[in-house]
Amino acid sequence: MATIVGLAALSLSRFSSTVASAASPQSIGSDLSIVTHNDLYGNATARTVAAVVISRPNRFAAATSRYGDHQDLDFLRYLDYGKSTDKGTYKAVPCSNTANDYSRQVSIITKNATITRYASIPARFKQSTYIPPQSITTALENSPTCIQPGCTACSENCLTLNIWTPYLPNAKTSSKKKLVMVWIHGSGFAIGTGSDPTFDGSALASRGDVVLVTRNYRLGTLGVLALENTLLTGNYGLQDQNDFGGDRAKITIFGQSAGAASVRALLASPLSRDKVSGALMMSTPQGMGYAGFFSEYNTIPEATALNKTIVNETGCASGNADLLTCLRAVDPLSLVPRRRRHISTNNLPPLSASAPKLPIPILAGIMHDNGSLSHPTRPQTTAATDAMFRCLAQSTTHTAVKNGVFEKAYAYGFDRVYRIPEWSPNPPACEAPPTPGFPYGNPNEPYFKCHSGESLSVFGTTVLRGRTPRDDDDIPFSQYVVDTWSAFARTGVPVPDSEFMDARGFTNSSAFVKAAGAWKEVGKGGEKPIRVLAVAGKARMEEWREVEERDVLGLGLGYYDGAG
């Protein structure tokens, strides 16, 4: 009955059907659960044991006793979590989770799952269409990114996704579904990819027991160009993001920066708003100047007014009946350095009292300090920086709650950052300064909590991305954030359940949650609305920030009340 499946391949969940000998839920006649502690310390972990668990009769005690007094297998109690009786009947196969070995593979056969492509191969300036699962495809390599400035491993044929899963169902024996988190990457609608290793989904999938999906969408002008009275209707990138199906009760969309602005646009669109059970928006740029570009939408006439330059520069005559053919013949790399906004009949997302209600929870927040310092050519200046991010992020949440637009809302301010390698907008402003005993930076000293500084913590990829933990809190803090984000996807509440954490042995996160105290939804019981995400002892609830500054700028909490 026992079937051994190496975890190494599973831990990154690269699926393959090309290896004839690969085990599959079908060949085993059982579901496969992959349970690993994954403490985010990478190959420095002391918790090297993981298990592939097969749902064939075998009591928990029997399964564990087979492996002697392997204390590390305690985390398998998680398989009984949420069940009323201790009826767990599992076969556990412990194996190392430190190897980075792709040679052992697992196949899956789903209802004709297409693993590598989620939408039709996009014709330039044409809406993509969601393709339901059709065939089984090898997915061992990252596919090309969408066209972006200076790219090489890129293509217009880029509508692909990556999937990490802690569980492979056998359709014959189980109808269990995991919660799904769908990530929309940021970078100004201009660059980026779902295959960026910063967004490696292993940690969220393995710790959070969710299926994690990252995906590409068209960028730059290729994602948005719209011209009135032509077939160019814009929103190609947004439609790419909208191309997904599945159980609407189990899908949370989340994104950062332009990705968060995308989540916001998807929630505003009748095409996508009813497909999700939750939404998480990290650092949505909104407000004045540069940032307004992300979250205020153009109408087609407004977008058309912007076409002059680009149409002229391509050499395609704007009056040409064959404009589309002409534009499709242009080198795509010459089109992407430009950006355009999403197209909508409404310049702002509908948040007023008359806005349609969306019965889902949202979680939204920003970096705790200076929202900007984000753009290489637009360094931090004034109060206006805060206005871009903070004031209107607060107004969005405040107004949405006041007008009951969402079922409930949680707000946070992120107060610990470790910047992404290769990206330092204003060095060394976004780095904690080194002090004696802290050669990699001392996060207890003041430093700017810059835009995008949350990504490594949210994905648990600090070590994976080669950043050495600066102190003993960096990784436990990331554990806490990973567990918080996935808890929101599983339950709609950004607080991991204590029994869940106990079952998994997430002792650090337990301590964080206890130290931080209750995290109430915005607008409930006069509680302070913002959870400051910081190390144990510094996490707290706070009032909306920068009230005076906001009012001076005319970006008060009521800013969005008139919208839509």
Name the site residues for ligand NAG (rule: CB under 6 A): 39, 42-43, 111-112, 227-230, 304-305, 307-308, 312, 318, 323, 369-370, 380, 463, 466, 472, 476, 479, 505, 507-508
Q: Residue 202: phi, psi to the nearest 5?
A: -55, -45
Q: Minimum Å distance from CB 317 to ligand NAG? A: 9
Q: In angstroms, what is the minimal distance from the CB of 46 to ligand NAG?
A: 6
**Token pair 């197209």: residue:** 343
Shortest CB 175 distance to ligand NAG, Å: 15
The SS3 assignment for 60 reads: helix
Q: Report the residue count for the chain.
A: 564
Q: How far is the CB of 466 from ligand NAG (least distance, A)?
A: 6
Q: In which residue are the tokens 């204590």 written?
A: 498
Neighbour-count burial of 353, counting CB atoms closer than 10 A to its CB (0-12 exposed, 13-18 middle, 19+ buried): exposed
- Report d(CA 33, CA 367) in Å as an integer: 35
Least Å distance between CB 30 and ligand NAG?
21
| Closer of 65 and 312 to ligand NAG (Cβ) | 312
Nearer to ligand NAG among residue 42 and residue 188 (C-beta): 42
- Asked whether the beta carbons of 529 and 544 are under 8 A apart, the reply is yes
Closest approach, Cβ 186 to ligand NAG, in A, equals 21
Nearest to residue 379, comparing CAs of 431, 288, 447, 450? 450
Instruction: In angstroms, give the least distance from the CB of 109 to ligand NAG.
Output: 10
Nearer to ligand NAG, 308 or 357 (CB): 308
Kindly tell me which of 184 and 450 has the beta carbon lying closer to ligand NAG.
450
Helices (H) and strands (E) in the chain, counts: 18, 15
CB of 395 or CB of 461, closer to ligand NAG:
461
Residues 70/64, Cβ–Cβ less than 8 Å: yes
CA distances (Å), origin 144, targets 192, 194, 465, 521: 11, 10, 21, 40
- For 39, the token pair is 């403490």
Per-position DSSP letters for 347-366, written without gaps between them: SS---STTSPPEEEEEEEEE
Cβ-based nearer residue to ligand NAG, 337 or 466: 466
CB of 500 to ligand NAG, least distance (A): 14
* Least distance between ligand NAG and beta carbon 47 (Å): 7
CA proximity to 166, closest of 97, 113, 112: 97
Smaller CB separation from ligand NAG, 408 or 449: 449
Q: Report the residue number, 91 or 419, with the smaller CB distance to ligand NAG.
A: 419
Sign of the Cα torsion 13, 16, 20, 24 reads positive
Nearer to ligand NAG, 91 or 124 (CB): 124
CB of 547 to ligand NAG, least distance (A): 13
How far apart are the C-alpha atoms of 92 and 34, rounded to whole Å? 10
CA distance 518 to 511: 13
Shortest Cβ distance from residue 550 to ligand NAG (Å)?
13
Q: How many CB atoms lie within 10 A of CB 339?
A: 16
Of 202 and 269, the one with the shorter C-beta distance to ligand NAG is 202
Distance set, CA 76 to CA 42, 80, 90, 126, 177 (Å)? 20, 8, 9, 48, 19
Half-sphere exposure of 419 (CA within 13 A, CB side): 22
DSSP secondary structure letters along 429-479: TTSPPPBTTBTT--TTS-----TTTTHHHHHT-TTTTTPPPSSTTHHHHHH
Q: Which of 511, 183, 191, 557 lies closest to 396 in space, CA to CA? A: 557
Q: Cβ closer to ligand NAG: 86 or 472? A: 472
End-to-end CA distance of the chain: give it in Å, rounded. 60
Closest approach of ligand NAG to the CB of residue 181, in Å = 21
Q: How far is the CB of 227 from ligand NAG (least distance, A)?
A: 4
Prior bond to 428 cis, omega within 30? yes
Nearer to ligand NAG by C-beta: 240 or 473? Answer: 473
Dmax over Cα atoms in the chain, in whole Å? Answer: 78
The nearer residue to ligand NAG, 87 or 111, going by C-beta atoms, is 111
The dihedral over CA atoms of 205, 163, 151, 308, expressed in degrees to the nearest 10, equals -100
Q: Minimum Å distance from CB 148 to ligand NAG? A: 25
Measured from the CB atom, the residue of 380 and 399 that comes closer to ligand NAG is: 380
